[in-house]
Chain A
């Protein structure tokens, strides 16, 4: 399994994970919200009935307004809903009333076995400053004012929440199973899915290699025949022009060969000092920058090391320096540093390009608007390919007349 195929499988499984997690999160979220909504409806019903479903229950304050046993017509969701007539018998709850005058506490209703009445008072007093919500995991509470007292009603929703928790656990297990099955399916049929992509990439490489090979002999012959013509009839503008064009084509063919042969499967890895490699590349072109009137500055952190293909890194730095030399108007700046383990190579030069992203500069045979005659659009393509092979990122953008090329490794 090659690196690209591994990436393809990882991304595929990641997409399945994200989609499935989102779907299950929504389902479970809606489910828990509905349970909470049902519980709130119950606590509200209790609040409307002064904290109790019981008939002739002693209510705080006014005994004359004690409600009757709940009637069928009061229930909005029918016998299956959380406010069904059976609820009176099955609901586990308590209501405690706190009187402002003298700070007295009174139990309005107590239909629960999990806590004692004293514990219920203490529990309720801790909730007095709230409004509604979950308490102790599976209990829903509501705090409300009722005839001069502050009432706290707490209902046990453990039984109602159990199916929701089961669905949540089943969802989690199901997701893990789906991911495992998905991974094995991708292992089994991933090759078939990935094969067309790989084939397209292989064909592109073969095309470039063939084109590169097929150009080589004709160029040699053209140059040789031009030499022969010059010997017979003397050199003239046409033969000189032919030599120049052939030389350009030769350069292009060599670059094309380099791009074609950079194969990440075959690249070697060694610890190299990127600081030294970049400094050497800059040193080689220092005079050319000066000759072109370009102010060259560099901020290279000492001893920045990277485990990479030495030849690839050497060519990469050469291309970066060559690119700045070719396109800088008056100044070029190089920066190399290690930021918490991430190596940053940044080149900046002034430009007349408009502001905006310039990532198309990395495309093969693509040049930007400031390209000069003879630019082949291969140099930065090589840079991108090398960076990608080393699991890095490369980006290019123009802002305020400065072209910035940023590489992280």
Chain B
């Protein structure tokens, strides 16, 4: 399993990279939208965890690119649960800050389960 985690906070990225790598698999982090798009174009990911306020490139553009590559997106927002803005491209999952590691892990697994991707500790393995 390979996860792309993109958020504008380096402490958050580093902390969750370590946790996700321990429990789910390889995790690549990105600090801004340009990096995310570049990584999406050059590598294959099973899931993109994306902060709604990612800088430099609008999150809608990033989601569209991810959808184009068939990568499911879990959108991290700072809005209370249940609040959803209209006109946003669809994401596979949503999670509101603040969340625990258990919650994000659950959200990722749920998204991947829909896609038929199994939890691994190593490189990406997809069901054929």
CB-CB < 8 A to A224: which residues of B? Answer: 12, 15-16, 19, 100-101
- A246-285 interface mask toward B, CB cutoff 8 Å, 1 = contact, 0 = none? 1001100110011001000000000000000000000000
Count: A-B pairs, CB below 8 Å: 56
| B98–A216 touching, CB < 8 Å | yes
Bitwise, A212-235 to B at CB < 8 A (1) or not (0) is: 110111011101110110010000
Cβ contact of A250, chosen from B12, B18, B98, cutoff 8 A: B98
Whether the pair B97, A220 counts as a contact (CB closer than 8 A) is yes
User: Taking A216-B98, A246-B98 as contacts, is the C-beta distance between A228 and B18 under 8 angstroms?
Assistant: yes
CB of A231 within 8 A of CB of B22, answer yes
Which of B38-46, B78-86, B117-125 makes up part of the contact surface? B78-86
Q: Given known contacts A216-B98, A227-B101, is B80 in contact with A221 (CB within 8 Å)?
A: no
Q: Is the CB of B12 within 8 A of A216?
A: no
Task: Tell me whether B98 and A257 are in contact (CB under 8 A).
Answer: no
CB within 8 A of B98: which of A215, A225, A258? A215
Q: Is A225 a contact of B15 with CB atoms below 8 Å? A: yes
Say yes or no: B99 contacts A220, CB within 8 Å. Answer: yes
| B12→A220 contact, CB < 8 A | yes
Q: Mark B88-99, 1 if CB is under 8 A from A, else 0.
A: 000000001111
Q: B12–A261 contact, CB under 8 A?
A: no
Q: Tell me whether B127 is interfacial, beta carbon within 8 Å.
A: no
Q: Which of B22, B97, B100 contacts A217 (CB 8 A)?
A: B97
Q: Are B12 and A257 in contact (CB under 8 A)?
A: no
Contact B80 A258 (CB under 8 A): yes
A254 to chain B, nearest CB (A): 6
Q: A212 contacts which chain B residues (CB < 8 A)?
A: 78
Asked if B80 and A227 make an inter-chain contact with CB atoms under 8 angstroms apart, the answer reads no
**Which residue in chain A gives the minimum CB-CB distance to B51?**
A217
Q: Flag B7-19 by CB within 8 Å of A: 1 or 0 each.
A: 1010110011011
* CB <8 Å contact, A217 and B9: yes
Spell out A's residues near B (CB within 8 Å): 212-213, 215-217, 219-221, 223-225, 227-228, 231, 246, 249-250, 253-254, 257-258, 261
Residue pairs across A and B with Cβ atoms less than 8 A apart, 22 shown, are: A213-B78, A216-B98, A219-B98, A220-B12, A220-B97, A220-B99, A220-B100, A221-B15, A223-B100, A223-B101, A224-B15, A224-B16, A224-B19, A225-B11, A225-B15, A227-B100, A227-B101, A249-B98, A253-B98, A257-B79, A258-B80, A261-B79
Q: Contacts A220-B98, A220-B100, A246-B98 known; list 15 others, CB within 8 Å.
A: A212-B78, A213-B78, A216-B78, A216-B97, A217-B97, A217-B98, A219-B97, A219-B98, A223-B101, A224-B16, A224-B19, A228-B18, A249-B98, A253-B98, A257-B79
